[in-house]
Amino acid sequence: MAFRFEVLQKDTSSRARLGRIETNHGSFLTPAFLPVGTQGTIKSLTPEEVVEIRVEAIVGNTYHLYLRPGHETIGKLGGLHTFIHWKNPILTDSGGYQIFSLGALRRISEEGVAFQSHLDGSLHFLTPEKVMEIQRILGSDIAMVLDECIPYPSPYEYAKASNRLTTRWAKRCLQVRQENDPALFAIVQGGVYKDLREESAQRLVEINFQGYAIGGLSVGEPKSLMGEVLNWTIPFLPESAPHYLMGVGTPEDIVNAVVLGIDLFDCVLPTRNARNGTLFTPSGKMSIKQAQYAEDRRPIDETCGCYTCRHYSRAYLRHLYLANEILSSRLNTIHNLYYYIGLMNKIKEAIREGRLLEIYKKQQLKGLETE
Ligand SMILES: [Zn+2]
């Protein structure tokens, strides 16, 4: 599988970089935000609509697709790209995060993790080798190793043992990797412990993967710790490989993380918030159900060029939301994803022009205003 990452330009005043990822299904520029298509769909939109929003790559969830409809079924039907009619790059997670969110329904051992399906209670056992096989059959462009995502807070000794297990699992994933397999990214864990994050990053880099993710954040830890964990970890990652912050986050989190050297993001926030009637705008979040919008003729954001803002008023969007209409989810998702992709494009432009810190400072001030 062809995979290449190239740093095109480095920011002069921070660790931010402008890069390009190339895969068999096309290339895209970084820093990039990948919307999450949990069940093989960006909820409520067609692939053509997703492309129109200028989304270049998406995330698929191995756990969900393995349980339903099953990776073998998807494989028989031509692989995930064909099955969901998406021509551009797909990154699949390993399912680790979902499995570890099951709590009492799962049991972990050196060999792998046993768990009960959240759908029908059936028993399953996933190993590092098995998640590689599943992602191979799905035909994703970028695969993730199986990792243990520990909760916050976790005691030091537990975090340490878990970290070492994650490293051994990562090694096993790489050992069974075949020539035409997806590119393989490792996941740095280690909770909120500086020495464990360093150890995790160093050991995984020694094994040598095509990219490195930072996992185990946005699991309930105080916001201030995220920046610290990134500061501890990123200096140990090779500059020549993409750095991926999993499951993060708000526009503010994204700008902060880009400054610290992150290239890839995925998060359900823009799509999930859209379905809950929460919309992103340059001046902060807007809850469309509020009575103040009942007769408001303005679009969500007068500066936004998305399909929703070009055609619909806040009053109509509020009505659709309160009437529980399907179109509400669709129009809100179009706007929120357009906002996120627009943010990433502004970030890329700012790095190119050497004024990322200017934007970053503005974002920080805005964060303070809304607190
Ligand atoms: Zn819009």
pLDDT on residue 370: 40
Alpha-carbon gap, residue 273 to 40, rounded angstroms:
19
What tokens does 36 get?
């999450």
* Whether pLDDT at 369 is above 60: no
Mean pLDDT over residues 287-293, rounded?
98
Neighbours of 367 (CB within 10 A): 17
pLDDT on residue 328: 98
pLDDT on residue 366: 61
181 is catalytic: no
233-257 confidence digits (pLDDT tens): 999 999 999 999 999 999 999 999 9
Q: Is the peptide bond preceding residue 249 cis, with omega within 30 degrees of 0?
A: yes
pLDDT on residue 212: 98
84-134 confidence digits (pLDDT tens): 999 999 999 998 888 888 877 889 999 999 999 989 999 999 999 999 999
**Residue 370 DSSP SS3:** helix
pLDDT on residue 368: 47
337 C-alpha to ligand 1 centroid (Å): 9
Q: Are strands 58-60 and 123-126 parallel, antiparallel or unpaired?
A: unpaired
Q: 181, 253, 263, 266: which is the annotated catalytic residue?
A: 266
pLDDT on residue 360: 79
pLDDT on residue 339: 98
The strands making up 4-10's β-sheet, listed across from edge to edge, are 4-10, 17-23, 26-30
Q: Are 153 and 225 in contact (CB under 8 A)?
A: no
Q: What is the DSSP letter of 44?
A: T
213 C-alpha to ligand 1 centroid (Å): 30
Identify the CA nearest to 142 among candidates 170, 181, 97, 189: 181
318 C-alpha to ligand 1 centroid (Å): 14
In which residue are the tokens 């399909």 written?
A: 307
| Helical packing angle, 251-259 and 223-233, nearest 10° | 30
255 C-alpha to ligand 1 centroid (Å): 20
Alpha-carbon gap, residue 248 to 60, rounded angstroms:
16
Identify the CA nearest to 368 among candidates 252, 287, 255, 258: 252
What tokens does 236 get?
């140990």
Percentages helix, strand, coil for the chain, rounded to the nearest 5? Answer: 45, 20, 35
311 C-alpha to ligand 1 centroid (Å): 9
Mean pLDDT of the chain: 95
3-53 confidence digits (pLDDT tens): 999 999 999 889 999 999 999 999 999 999 999 999 999 999 999 999 999
The residues, ordered by sequence, that sit 6+ positions from 175 with a Cβ below 8 Å of its Cβ are none
Q: Detail the DSSP E strand segments found in 127-164.
A: 142-144
Q: 93, 141, 147, 181: which is the annotated catalytic residue?
A: 93
Mean pLDDT over residues 341-345, rounded?
97
